[in-house]
Chain A
């Protein structure tokens, strides 16, 4: 590892700009208003499970959805670091952000980068207005970690459009969202990474069938998305035919690097502190809380380093993988630590928002933390692959 090449160990230390603290204050007062309305409930995993289109719209009115999109497309033209400040505040508060989550994080930047001008003019202002919600249609029954093996096909129609056939699995929010970005095979190629393309699929189009898949908690969050000969106009190809793999992996740094990769269970720690305030706290309990807090703080610094890299247009996929492995493991550790610091039987039927109910919720969601968005084993492979180049 020569000092000249950026090492995966040395992240830039970020000092947020002055504008960030002003922004943070504004977001906090917005959250106070929403708390008074009863919409912000301090729930874990609110970016997966907190569905509230009204909240998304009010957030958008403040300019905080699609805020890194250029103003000519309805965005706020602000940087990734400012977006980071907004979303970390929302996640820490357990605000219901799942409706617009994928639009804001992924679909917006992706349409901006790969879309035609027509697509940008149509989708981006709607995304930034909090009125156009996206799902991710990547995984399939036979294609999880090995995503390039997807079997969904897109064939050219005689009218210059596309016909999509196949089944996407675990498609979050497909039953409630407007569109999905679907990865499909357009061409048979030797190299399985070639011949893939991305499409924007209207989830209300004929031939789209959405079959609920229940989580172990009983919640309906994701689905099997059946594409039964769905006809798309030619204009719904996103980016270039055959560039799907490149586009998908380009999105991954955005998908993997955000504060949602370590804050999913943060509200449970807040709940623990609330409980501890009503008791006399032992030195051992303090130790556990301190160790968790130190780790949260340290991971946040790394995560900000990735945001700064993205802001500077620098490649961030290895760093993003590193932070996501650390962060998602912490999400699970946090849950287990909270449980041992204050032994409480997790109870999904306890009063919503009570400590035992939040614990149950975080626990039932916990296996997903280290799977979604690329499993931790795969992420670690990326980190060490990066190392060999140094």
Chain B
């Protein structure tokens, strides 16, 4: 299981090393900022692990706010490479799905017609355009791209150094970089023709990976909030003893359990195939994205002022929730996809289909 470990030495506030109670115990204490250490590394499961195992690991990565493209590698890039029968490189990977690119044959056949060429001597491609907001592009050993080539759906890989990189970030400061490709030649050895449904599978994988991260960040919100309301005293009692606090805390726990259940329920269907996974994954990402706001709201409300600062690790989870809910399709996008095929007659069968 411990085949690969992603380096987590990027500079961030080390959430696990930070103890909020110190702040209250010692009024002079300022932020305890540390860097992630090897102990924070989350092992990347073996590529052969089941989706359920990969999801559990991604959830843990989300809980710890691991500063690396863990879920992107384990649940999206690697399985796609495998499906396309391309070798899987070690280390962090990323992906770009259906980007707006101009793709031509790099070596159009002499008999080819038109500028794009209707056939090539081989499948080497010439790619121009921008891959937008690629997760962790600057740290990724390779980026898996799923797009449409002159011959149909294609998967190819490139390395970030082959592109011009414009750095970007999400609310949590996670890299979301643009990669500009100017007539980049992708050798045929890195190009694979793929079945059309691989693009849909890729979208489902990305959405479910993101949902697992959200479930993990939500769990972090629960852990931090419970610890905080137990430790923090006002009016001579721990906050957790107040009815009003309990009521909100219970809702936080419920919403988190809900997201987690939705993510778990999509694991087996994804292993079964695209048709089985459509409903379960759309439901998981809809639920995960839709719950993010309430989870972040309650966690912040119960933390009070310290939660709004970098003195406390809560922001590691909540800023991720606010970003991740939008990434790989927000709840509006997935809710529509979920609802479109539903009818009065098939709603209940859809809810009760077993993988």
Residues of A within 8 A of B (CB): 1, 8-11, 13, 15-16, 20-21, 24, 88, 92-93, 266, 269-271, 273-274, 277, 283, 286-291, 293-302, 305, 322, 325-326, 377, 379-381, 383-384, 387-388
Given contacts A9-B260, A88-B352, A269-B347, contact A293 B339 (CB under 8 A): yes
Q: Is the CB of A384 within 8 A of B257?
A: no
Contact for A298 among B261, B331, B339, CB less than 8 A: B261
Q: Is the CB of A290 within 8 A of B337?
A: yes
Q: Which B residues, 200 to 247, have Cβ-Cβ distances below 8 Å to chain A?
A: 219, 222-223, 226, 230, 240, 243, 246-247
- A387–B254 Cα distance when bound, in Å, is 12
Given contacts A294-B287, A380-B247, contact A301 B262 (CB under 8 A): yes
Q: Could you show 28 A-B contacts with beta carbons less than 8 Å apart?
A: A1-B226, A9-B219, A20-B354, A88-B352, A269-B347, A271-B344, A273-B342, A277-B343, A286-B340, A290-B282, A290-B286, A290-B334, A291-B286, A291-B331, A293-B342, A294-B286, A294-B338, A297-B279, A297-B287, A298-B261, A298-B283, A302-B261, A322-B250, A325-B250, A325-B251, A380-B246, A380-B251, A381-B246
Q: Is the CB of B354 within 8 A of A21?
A: yes
Q: How far is the CB of A266 from chain B (nearest CB, A)?
A: 8
**B-side interface residues, number (CB < 8 Å):** 53
The prevalent SS among residues of B at the interface is helix
Q: Is the CB of B258 within 8 A of A384?
A: no
Chain B residues whose C-beta falls within 8 Å of the C-beta of A299 in the assembled complex:
258
Q: How far is the CB of A263 from chain B (nearest CB, A)?
A: 10
Q: Which B residues, 255 to 297, have Cβ-Cβ distances below 8 Å to chain A?
A: 256-262, 264-265, 267-268, 279-280, 282-284, 286-287, 290
Q: Is the CB of B351 within 8 A of A293?
A: yes
Q: Is the CB of B336 within 8 A of A283?
A: yes
Q: Is the CB of A273 within 8 A of B265?
A: no
Proximity bits, B307-334, A CB within 8 Å = 1, else 0: 0000000000000000000000001101
Tell me, yes or no, whether B91 is within 8 Å of chain A by CB: no
Q: Is the CB of B240 within 8 A of A384?
A: yes
Chain A residues whose C-beta falls within 8 Å of the C-beta of B355 in the assembled complex:
15
Chain A residues whose C-beta falls within 8 Å of the C-beta of B337 in the assembled complex:
290
Which B residue sits closest to A11, measured CB to CB? B261
Q: How far is the CB of B257 from chain A (nearest CB, A)?
A: 5
Residues of B within 8 A of A (CB): 52, 219, 222-223, 226, 230, 240, 243, 246-247, 249-251, 253-254, 256-262, 264-265, 267-268, 279-280, 282-284, 286-287, 290, 331-332, 334-340, 342-344, 347-348, 350-352, 354-355
New A-B pairs, 20, CB < 8 Å, besides A9-B260, A294-B282, A298-B283: A9-B257, A10-B260, A88-B352, A270-B344, A273-B342, A273-B347, A287-B331, A287-B335, A289-B342, A290-B336, A291-B335, A294-B262, A297-B262, A297-B287, A298-B261, A299-B258, A326-B257, A381-B250, A383-B250, A388-B240
- A326–B253 Cα distance when bound, in Å, is 10
| Cβ-closest 4 pairs across A and B | A290-B335, A380-B250, A290-B339, A294-B286
- A322–B251 Cα distance when bound, in Å, is 9
Chain A residues whose C-beta falls within 8 Å of the C-beta of B335 in the assembled complex:
286-291, 293-294
Q: Is the CB of B331 within 8 A of A384?
A: no
- A384–B251 Cα distance when bound, in Å, is 10
Chain B residues whose C-beta falls within 8 Å of the C-beta of A15 in the assembled complex:
268, 354-355
- A381–B348 Cα distance when bound, in Å, is 32
Q: Is the CB of A9 within 8 A of B262?
A: no
* Most chain B beta carbons < 10 A, residue from A88, A270, A290, A381: A290
Given contacts A16-B354, A301-B264, A380-B251, contact A295 B258 (CB under 8 A): yes
